[in-house]
């Protein structure tokens, strides 16, 4: 059995050379929720059936974030991969790719050629609304023309379990449902007690968290600022549950 390999953030032009034939999926996978997990489970199974390796090309963020100069992610790339390790469903290769000028300016044709020549791709697993290449020139039909209709596997989108829906839940009184729907741990990064990642306005109130020492404690946030904690120098917390205002 091949050892599972994680490739840290790189340019799309620097994709590693994979000599074994592969089945590939491309996406952001922010939050690594249930629909993402199902897609990657299917990716792994299809690779096994085709005597191929499974490859996830994980974009660091949405392309629209690059143009808007915002950071809308709710999870970091390494945490998305860790969610798969925790469930023992990681692919053969995980390749983290920067969303930069090289990626957004690459034509759909050149992108597909990279998949074929660098990753030895014989099949693709994607959602119905998948777009790629400069100005979103490429889509599912493009992939079918290149790889053959029988080698493009479509995963239907589930709207009630989506990253967008989870983001909305995390900003409301239904935050705990949002946390439960995440595949990744819900981590916040702090600087001078203020939340700097992710860019979500948390409800004011008390939270059960796991601190960097791995201990659970109750903390309080007010206007996205950590007010009460056992450790005033904390720079990262995993939020486990919202406890309410007066808990």
Stretch among 15-24, 32-41, 230-239 having the lowest mean pLDDT = 230-239
Q: Where are the alpha helices (DSSP H) in the chain?
A: 34-49, 63-68, 77-86, 101-104, 108-118, 140-147, 163-170, 175-181
Cβ-in-10-Å burial (0-12, 13-18, 19+) of 230 comes to: exposed
- Is 246's pLDDT higher than 90? no
CA dist., res. 193 & res. 189, Å (int): 9
- Is 77's pLDDT higher than 90? yes
29 three-class SS: coil
CA dist., res. 217 & res. 247, Å (int): 13
Residue 157 pLDDT grade (very low, low, confident, very high; cuts 50, 70, 90) = confident
Per-residue model confidence as pLDDT tens digits over 100-146: 999 999 999 999 999 999 999 999 999 989 999 999 999 999 999 99
Residue 232 pLDDT grade (very low, low, confident, very high; cuts 50, 70, 90) = low
Q: Which residues, 6+ apart, have CB-to-CB distance to 77 below 8 Å?
A: 9, 58, 60, 96
Mean pLDDT, the chain, whole residue set? 94
CA dist., res. 188 & res. 238, Å (int): 6
Checking DSSP bridges between strand 152-155 and strand 121-127, what pairing results, if any? Answer: parallel
Q: Which residues pair with 244 in a beta bridge?
A: 206
Q: Where are the alpha helices (DSSP H) in 6-161?
A: 34-49, 63-68, 77-86, 101-104, 108-118, 140-147
Residue 233 pLDDT grade (very low, low, confident, very high; cuts 50, 70, 90) = confident
Mean pLDDT of 140-160: 91
For the domain spanning 5-155, the CATH number is 3.40.50.620
Mean pLDDT of 171-186: 96
Q: Where are the domains of the chain?
A: 5-155, 186-244
CA dist., res. 93 & res. 100, Å (int): 21
């Amino acid at each position: 059995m091949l050892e599972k390999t994680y490739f840290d953030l790189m340019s799309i032009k620097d994709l590693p050379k994979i000599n074994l034939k592969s089945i590939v999926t491309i996406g952001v996978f922010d939050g690594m929720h249930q629909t993402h997990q199902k897609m990657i489970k299917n990716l792994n199974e299809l690779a096994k059936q085709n005597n191929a390796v499974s490859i996830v090309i994980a974009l660091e963020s949405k392309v629209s974030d690059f143009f808007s100069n915002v950071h809308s992610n709710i999870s970091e790339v390494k945490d998305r991969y860790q969610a798969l390790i925790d469930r023992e469903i990681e692919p053969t290769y995980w390749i983290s790719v920067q969303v930069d000028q090289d990626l957004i300016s690459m034509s759909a044709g050149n992108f597909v050629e990279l998949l074929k020549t660098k990753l030895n791709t014989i099949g693709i697993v994607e959602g119905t609304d998948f777009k790629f290449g400069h100005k979103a020139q490429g889509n599912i039909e493009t992939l079918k023309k290149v790889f053959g209709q029988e080698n493009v596997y479509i995963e239907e989108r589930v709207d009630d379990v989506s990253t967008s829906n989870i983001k909305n839940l995390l900003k409301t009184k239904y935050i705990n449902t949002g946390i439960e729907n995440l595949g990744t741990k819900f981590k916040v990064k702090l600087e001078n007690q203020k939340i700097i990642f992710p860019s979500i306005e948390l409800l004011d109130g008390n939270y059960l968290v796991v601190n960097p020492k791995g201990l659970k404690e109750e903390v309080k946030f007010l206007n996205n600022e950590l007010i009460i904690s056992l450790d005033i120098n904390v720079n990262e917390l995993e939020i486990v549950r919202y406890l309410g205002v007066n808990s």
